């Protein structure tokens, strides 16, 4: 099968296409014929080697862990899935490939009304958004500040926070202000003067901060909160030195929750925005855009 592989750590130039063996599912696993793959910032961080302490990687390696595709083969003991089922979820093996293995327990059925690219945009972002909102203990009536509100994670986090009854202030670039507003947040431009802009619309302050951008907003967040309490980042590695929680814990990977949100996405009740798609062979280009910090929605690889 075709797969994208890296044999050494480094920049996107280390990624290359290779022919690899089609994997065989073990007990509790299925093999998925991959149709779309979510490109996440962590993919580039693992490729670069800076995540070795958290995600040790055996080389050569295939990147990625977020898939949408068709069940192609069943391992021993798999119930509830059959060959031909359309699914989305998390892979056990590298996802930048024509086939990947996945534990049946972390796959959700893909609704007919949800296309492959939008299905691949959902698992990691929805899991991460739920997890951070729970860490922050966001409640109805509270004001939540989200940095990076137009990104894949921010897009979902804004909507789930609004669904909890929170008032959301979302920061994004100038070109994404209307988009963030459409998600249900009050949009603000990030950068110099942010503290004053937030205070102008929320003079009572903010109750919690979710940093999904990692672009140096933690100091402003501390100022707005008056402490480091109830601030969580998923993107700024300076968190520990500032006394901020870095959400690096294990993913929950709830198939039931993913199935619920997939149905909402299929019905249009939950927006899953795909910023750009790339064929599998252009994975290096997609990761470069991800590394550079693209502005809106999810980057997705399509697999023939």
The closest alpha carbon to 47, from 287, 262, 228, belongs to 287
Distance between CA atoms of residues 171 and 186, nearest Å: 9
Is 294 a residue whose pLDDT tops 90? no
Candidates 170, 169, 160; CA nearest to 269 is: 160
Q: For position 297, what pLDDT does the model report?
A: 87
What integer pLDDT is reported at residue 237 of this predicted model? Answer: 85
Structure confidence at residue 296 as a pLDDT band (50, 70, 90): confident
- Quickly count: other Cβ atoms within 10 Å of residue 40's Cβ: 24
Q: Convert the pLDDT of each residue in 92-144 to its tens digit.
A: 999 999 999 999 999 999 999 999 999 999 999 999 999 999 999 999 999 99
- State mean pLDDT over 225-243: 93
| 195 three-class SS | helix
Q: What is the mean pLDDT of residues 15-31?
A: 98
More confident residue, 88 or 237: 88
Mean pLDDT over 147-158 rounds to 95
pLDDT at residue 216, rounded to an integer: 84
Cα radius of gyration rounded to whole Å, the chain: 19
What pLDDT is attached to residue 53?
84
Most confident residue range from 39-43, 235-239, 261-265: 261-265
């Amino acid at each position: 099968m075709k797969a994208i592989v890296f044999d050494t750590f480094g920049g996107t130039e280390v990624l290359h296409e290779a022919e690899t063996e089609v994997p065989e599912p073990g007990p509790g696993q299925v093999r998925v014929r991959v149709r779309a793959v979510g490109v996440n910032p962590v993919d580039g961080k693992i490729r670069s080697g800076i995540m070795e302490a958290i995600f040790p990687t055996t080389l050569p390696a295939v990147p990625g862990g977020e898939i949408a595709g068709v069940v192609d083969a069943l391992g021993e003991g798999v119930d509830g899935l059959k060959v031909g089922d359309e699914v989305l979820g998390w892979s056990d093996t590298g996802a930048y490939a024509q086939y990947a293995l996945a534990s049946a327990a972390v796959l959700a059925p893909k609704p007919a009304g949800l296309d492959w690219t939008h299905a691949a945009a959902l698992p990691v972002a929805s899991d991460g958004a739920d997890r951070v909102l729970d860490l922050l203990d966001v409640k109805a009536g509270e004001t939540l500040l989200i940095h990076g509100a137009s990104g894949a994670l921010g897009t979902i986090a804004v909507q789930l926070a609004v669904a909890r009854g929170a008032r959301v202030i979302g920061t994004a670039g100038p070109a994404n202000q209307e988009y963030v507003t459409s998600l249900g947040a009050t949009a603000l431009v990030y950068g110099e003067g942010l503290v004053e802009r937030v205070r102008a619309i929320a003079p009572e302050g903010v109750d919690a901060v979710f940093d999904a951008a990692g672009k140096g907003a933690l100091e402003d967040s501390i100022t707005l909160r008056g402490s480091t309490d109830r601030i969580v980042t998923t993107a700024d590695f300076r968190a520990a030195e500032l006394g901020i929680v870095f959400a690096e814990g294990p993913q929950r990977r709830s198939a039931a929750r993913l199935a619920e949100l997939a149905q909402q996405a299929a019905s249009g009740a939950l927006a899953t925005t795909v910023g750009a798609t790339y064929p599998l062979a252009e994975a290096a280009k997609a990761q470069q855009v991800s590394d550079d910090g693209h502005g809106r929605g999810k980057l997705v690889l399509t697999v023939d």
